[in-house]
């Protein structure tokens, strides 16, 4: 019996796990490629792995991940229904912001993940993923609250869960509104407020 050939998605994952394209490779414990259903309708894109994610090799497994799970649950989804990834796949030291050259070195993996998963909806969590994918300098506070038409799918920017954990109740309420847009987009009920992304 012949072995099942690896899918392009498995190959991409293997490439990322061996990647040494930027300095973040030096300090990592694990590459955090992404997790969830590679056939999902919805892909969430965060910023970068933190300490817990680096230890386990999985995205959003710390406090931000608990809030993400809760927000997913409120729209009737669980982790196994979606795919979760990040802009950069290796933890920046002391959780500093990813640098432009690190984002540049890593963004091909995200682009290929999105091409292969081909979701209906991409949800960007926070400034880094929102600015990268919408190709804008506009911040998340102004970007969020609407859905954008983006390469034949919807892109819905919202705050990073860490912002809700350290911010006001309003940040959480805004995220709940944005997750409502996600639910509507998945159900095919999104009509109003569609903006054209300037990409
Ligand atoms: N924050 C992120 O942006 N990504 C993770 O995977 C965890 C925390």
The domain defined by 8-188 folds into: Uracil-DNA Glycosylase, subunit E (3.40.470)
* Residue 39 to residue 155: CA distance in whole angstroms: 17
Residue 84, pLDDT > 80, answer yes
Pocket of ligand 1 contains residue 60 by CB under 6 Å: yes
- Which residues are CB-neighbours of 131 under 8 A, at least 6 positions away? 137, 138, 139
Q: Read off the pLDDT of residues 94-148 as tens digits, 9 standing for 90 and up.
A: 999 999 999 999 999 999 999 999 999 999 999 999 999 999 999 999 999 999 9
Q: Is the pLDDT of residue 193 over 60?
A: no
% residues pLDDT > 90 (the chain): 91
CA-to-CA distance for 94 and 160, rounded, in angstroms? 18
- Is 48's C-beta closer than 6 angstroms to any atom of ligand 1? yes
pLDDT of residue 129: 98
Q: What residue ranges do the domains of the chain occupy?
A: 8-188
Q: Is the CB of 161 under 6 A from ligand 1?
A: no
Closest ligand 1 atom to the C-alpha of 126?
3
Q: Is the beta carbon of 92 within 6 A of some atom in ligand 1? A: no
Structure tokens at 166: 């350290």
Residues 12-59 pLDDT 10s: 999 999 999 999 999 999 999 999 999 999 999 999 999 999 999 999
Query: What is the pLDDT, as a whole number, of residue 3?
Result: 72
CB 146 within 8 A of CB 194: yes
User: DSSP assignment of 112-148, as one string?
Assistant: HHHHHH--SEEEEESHHHHHHHHT----HHHH-SSEE
Residue identifier of the C-alpha nearest atom 7 of ligand 1: 60
pTM, rounded to two decimals: 0.94
Asked if the model's pLDDT at residue 69 lies above 90, the reply is: yes
DSSP 196: E
Q: Which atom of ligand 1 is nearest to the CA of 162?
A: 1
Structure tokens at 195: 């903006």
Res. 5 pLDDT band, cuts 50 70 90? confident
pLDDT digits (tens, 9 = 90+) for 161-170: 999 999 889 9
Per-residue pLDDT reduced to its tens digit, 134-192: 999 999 999 999 999 999 999 999 999 999 999 889 999 999 999 999 999 999 998 75
């Amino acid at each position: 019996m012949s072995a099942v050939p690896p899918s392009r998605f498995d190959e991409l994952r293997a490439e990322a796990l061996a990647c040494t394209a930027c300095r973040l490779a030096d300090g990592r414990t694990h590459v955090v490629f992404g997790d969830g259903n590679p056939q999902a309708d919805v892909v969430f894109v965060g910023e970068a792995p933190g300490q817990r994610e680096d230890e386990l090799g999985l995205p959003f497994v710390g406090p931000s991940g608990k809030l993400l799970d809760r927000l997913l649950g409120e729209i009737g989804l669980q982790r196994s229904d979606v795919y979760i990834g990040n802009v950069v796949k290796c933890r920046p030291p002391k959780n500093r912001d990813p640098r432009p050259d690190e984002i540049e070195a890593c963004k091909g993996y995200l682009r290929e993940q999105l091409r292969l998963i081909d979701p209906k909806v991409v949800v960007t969590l926070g400034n880094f993923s929102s600015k990268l994918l919408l190709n804008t300098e506009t911040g998340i506070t102004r970007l969020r609250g609407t859905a954008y038409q983006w390469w034949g799918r919807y892109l819905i920017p919202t705050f990073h869960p860490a912002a809700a954990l350290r911010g006001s109740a309003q940040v959480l309420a805004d995220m709940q509104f944005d997750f409502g847009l996600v639910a509507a987009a998945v159900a095919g009920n999104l009509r109003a407020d569609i903006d054209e992304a300037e990409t």
